[in-house]
Amino acid sequence: MKSYTFKGLLTENGWLENITVSVDEKGIITNIAETESVNSEIVNGFALPGFQNAHSHAFQYAMAGLAEMHQTGQTADDFWSWRTTMYNLALTISPDDFEAIASMLYAEMVQNGYTDVAEFHYLHHNKTGVPYSNLAEMGERLMRAAEKTGIHLTLVPIFYQKGGFGTAATEKQKRFISPDFEAYQELVKASEKVATNYKNTKIGLGIHSLRAVDEESIKKIATFLQANQPMHIHVSEQLKEIEDCLDFYGKRPVEWLLDTVDLNDNWHLVHATHLNSHELNGIAKHKANVVLCPSTEGNLGDGIFRLTEFQKQNGNWSIGTDSHISINPFEELRLLDYGQRLISHKRNTFVTDNSGNSGFNAIKMAWKSGRKAMGKSNDTFFKIGEPFDAVVIDSKLPLIQATKTEHLCNTIVYTGHSSSILGTIINGDWKAKHGKHLALDHIIKDYKKTMEVLAVRL
């Protein structure tokens, strides 16, 4: 048993000041009270619910910043040219490499206040495209990385079958491919079996995109979904994708989903950048979730999601770091908001009620839909009987010291950065303090060795 006493704890109804959180030996919250417990650790900070990273491709962290050399007028510099660089990297990574890269990435996430990550995982097979004897070999390396760093992992083994609408997979996609629904089922079962050995891992389901899986298989996987199990899919990220879908199905991607599957609150549509009003309204009506990755979407030149309109219809959204060009939740939230401000010429894009509290509403929505993306309950930030997961903001920062609690969420979201974070608590234990993961030295050592072997950054 242990307890922490914070200057403030954020709840759905605002801040509780000078509050003590007690946890059991497994890090489960047993009590939240205004009375300081004997031997409680005094924490000079304000505790927010840990951030949820609802979309990650761990291996892409190895190439962050390496696709920015553009010879003007010589070659394409769009999403599709970036994808070629990504494919080339995917062909080189061994299981040991994968674990080292993911461990470094997840440590960075924890340092920046993420306590949960949904891993959109499609790097399944060996370098020749042959499945490992352990079908979940690469997925298990992600589980091991999560265990090392303490982060909660929702592994989403991805069904990736085609190279495009009605076309065979290419040579560079060979490590991703499950040839049919039955093969994908076996991959999921293998992942579920391995996950029983890792206390921090849950399993979701995922389809790479409409272009990457045939129609009958998509219908099958939609019915395969269990209650409260998250379903993740890339959708409508690129204009070419929409044009190709119109040519193949005669419908836009989200339009096709609305007409074909039972779209509900278990579905998480990643990016959904280019939607018409019918599609936007349909997602909100069916209570499906959108996962937005503003730093990656900006980096790739995808476009800007119609967030303001979506929120007016009580649409649900979360954030993810995708290609990990940034691993800062404050930056994701600000980019998301500022993109809307720039196209609407208004400043209240996160406000969904009469409070006018943009920062609080951003934290709340990203957390609630983010928790759904993990397949977890999302009714209470800090709930007795649930693990204690928090990101703690340093109360000694000059701006924080000078701010009343009613302005704290806005100050944190709109001025926050990595050095604002005093530390991150997962399962009731500190996993990072003062900007450093507690296992960082060992993790960095393995990561550096891996990057030297891969030589992709040289």
Q: Please, what are the domains in the chain?
A: 2-49+380-436 (2.30.40.10), 51-374 (3.20.20.140)
Note the Cα 103 to chain centre separation in Å: 15
- Give the residue ranges of the chain where pLDDT is below 70: 73-76
Q: What is the DSSP string of 161-212?
A: --SBTTBPPPGGGTTT---SHHHHHHHHHHHHHHHTT-TTEEE-EEE--GGG
| Euclidean distance between CA atoms 143 and 145, whole angstroms | 5
The active-site residue out of 271, 274, 324, 437 is 271
| Euclidean distance between CA atoms 299 and 303, whole angstroms | 10
Nearest to residue 253, comparing CAs of 267, 232, 239?
A: 239
Q: Establish whether 152 is a catalytic residue.
A: no
The active-site residue out of 244, 322, 337, 389 is 322
pLDDT value of residue 74? 64
pLDDT value of residue 82? 81
Q: Establish whether 247 is a catalytic residue.
A: no
- Are 150 and 110 in contact, with CB atoms under 8 Å apart? yes
| Euclidean distance between CA atoms 122 and 145, whole angstroms | 16
pLDDT value of residue 75? 64
To 10 degrees, the CA torsion angle through 378, 116, 23, 36? -80
Residue 403 φ then ψ, to 5°: -110, 135
Q: Which pTM does this prediction carry?
A: 0.97
| Euclidean distance between CA atoms 92 and 66, whole angstroms | 15
| Euclidean distance between CA atoms 428 and 356, whole angstroms | 32
Nearest to residue 236, comparing CAs of 220, 219, 216, 258?
A: 258
**Location of structure tokens 């219908």:** 219
